Amino acid sequence: MIELREEAFAPAAVGAGTRMVNEAIIKALSAIPNRGELPPAVIRKARLEGKGPFPLPPESPHASTLEIQAPHGPVRLRIYMPAAAPLGVYLHIHGGGWTLGSPRENDGSNDRIVTRTGWAVVSVQYRLAPEHPYPAAPDDCEAAAIWLAREAQARFGTTRLAIGGESAGGNLAAATLVRLRDRHGLTPFAGTILTAGCFDLRLTPSARQFGDTPLVLNTADIHRFVRYYLSSGGSPEDADVSPLLADLAGLPPALFLVGTRDALLDDTLFMAGRWMAAGNGAELMVAPGGCHVFTHFPGTLTDQAVARFDAFLASL
C-alpha cells in the first residue's frame, strides 16, 4: 500500500540529525575541486583505496568472490553468507550512475543484511560505463539473475529470492525483472527493494530542477552519468533504459525508499504509482530531508529504512 503524507515534505519534519548529515555531505563534496571533471577510473581507484569523500567500509568477514560465465563474458559476484543456512537470497545491484561503485564498497550494508536477516546476499560486479556503456550493465545483471534462479536451491538451499539496488542499481534491478519476464518467461523473485532509483533517463522534474547543490547527486551529475551510460547507443525513450516506461504487469511486490532531498525523488514517486497501477504490491517510505541514497549514511532515517527493509524481506 502506498500512502503519501504531506508532513513528510514539510521543512519542520526534517530532524536536526538529518540536517547535520546533509551539511556534512555537501561540505565534503564541495571540497573536491573540479569534481565533475575527474575521470571515472580515477574516482573508482580512489574510492577502493579508501581515499574517496566517504569512508570505505571494513571488509565483510562473510564475503567471498565467485566468477560465473555469461553470454557476454565472465561476471564476478560477491557473495555474503550468514552463519546458518540462508533464509533467502537477495540479489543486490549497486549504484554509482552505471559508472562508479562496486560490491566491495557495499560491504557494510550487505554485511548488515546478512547478520540482521539471515539472508545471503549476492552482489553483482557488472561492467561500468564509459568503458562499457549500455547494454553491458543490464546484460551482466540479467545473467547474474538467471544464474541465481537456476542455482539457488543447489548452492544456497532455498528458492526464496529477492532483488534490489540503489540509484542506478534500482534502475538495473527493475530492468532485470522486466528482461527475465519478457525474454525468458521467468519470475523467480518474490520481491524487490528499490532505493532512490533512477527510473527515467529523460530526467523527471525533480532531477531537472534539483540544481548544483552537491548533496550526493545533483542535476549535472545525472546528465554526466546518462551521457556515459548511453555513449554507444540506447535511448532514454527505451523501456530497457528507462524502466518507468516499461509494462510493469506481473512483477513482484516492491518496497520503494527515497528521501525528500533526493534529486531522484520524482523517479520513485512516479515508479511506485506505476508499480501499483500495474497490479503489483507496493510499499513506499518517503524520508523527510533524506538525501540521495540516504540509507548509506548513519542516522534515524537510515535506522527506520533498515527496519522497513528487514520487515519486507521477512514478509516474502
Buried b (16+ CB within 10 A) or exposed e, 63-102: beeeebebeeeebbbbbbbbeeebbbbbbbbbbbbbbbbb
User: pLDDT tens, 30-53?
Assistant: 999 888 899 999 999 999 999 999
What cell was used for 255?
518496497
**How are beta strands 120-125 and 161-166 bridged, if at all?**
unpaired
Q: What is the pLDDT of residue 75?
A: 99
Give me 261's grid cell: 532531498
- Predicted pLDDT at 34: 85
Greatest CA separation for the chain: 52
For the residues 5-13, what does the mean pLDDT come to? 93
CA geometry: angle 115, 106, 62, nearest 5 deg? 40
The H-assigned helical ranges of the chain are 16-30, 40-48, 107-117, 136-156, 168-184, 205-209, 219-229, 265-277, 300-315
Q: Decide if 166 contacts 295 (C-beta within 8 A).
A: yes
Average pLDDT, the chain: 98
Tens of pLDDT, residue by residue over 52-111, are 999 999 999 999 999 999 999 999 999 999 999 999 999 999 999 999 999 999 999 999
Cell numbers 564509459: residue: 130
pLDDT in tens, 196-223: 999 999 999 999 999 999 999 999 999 9
- Catalytically active residues are 167, 262, 292
- Hey, what's the cell of 177? 525483472
State which amino acid sits at residue 62.
Answer: H
pLDDT value of position 35: 86
**Average pLDDT estimate for 14-26:** 98
Fold of the 6-315 domain: Rossmann fold (3.40.50)
How far apart CA 282 and CA 273 sit, in angstroms, is 8
Q: Is the pLDDT of residue 226 over 80?
A: yes
Closest CA to 171 of 63, 99, 70, 65: 99
pLDDT of residue 2: 86
Task: Dump pLDDT digits (tens) for 183-197.
Answer: 999 999 999 999 999
The pLDDT of residue 150: 98
Contacts of 112 (CB under 8 A, 6+ apart): 306
Percentage of the chain beyond pLDDT 70 is 100
Taking the alpha carbons at both ends of the chain, their separation in whole angstroms is: 15
pLDDT digits (tens, 9 = 90+) for 121-164: 999 999 999 999 999 999 999 999 999 999 999 999 999 999 99
Contact assessment for residue 268 and residue 196, using Cβ atoms and an 8 Å cutoff: yes
Q: What is the pLDDT of residue 239?
A: 99
DSSP string, 190-255: SEEEEES----TT--HHHHHS-S--SS--HHHHHHHHHHHTTTS--TTSTTT-GGGS--TTPPPEE
Cell digits of residue 62 = 562473510
Residue at grid coordinates 554485511: 111
User: What's the pLDDT at 36?
Assistant: 86
| pLDDT band for position 265 (cuts 50, 70, 90) | very high
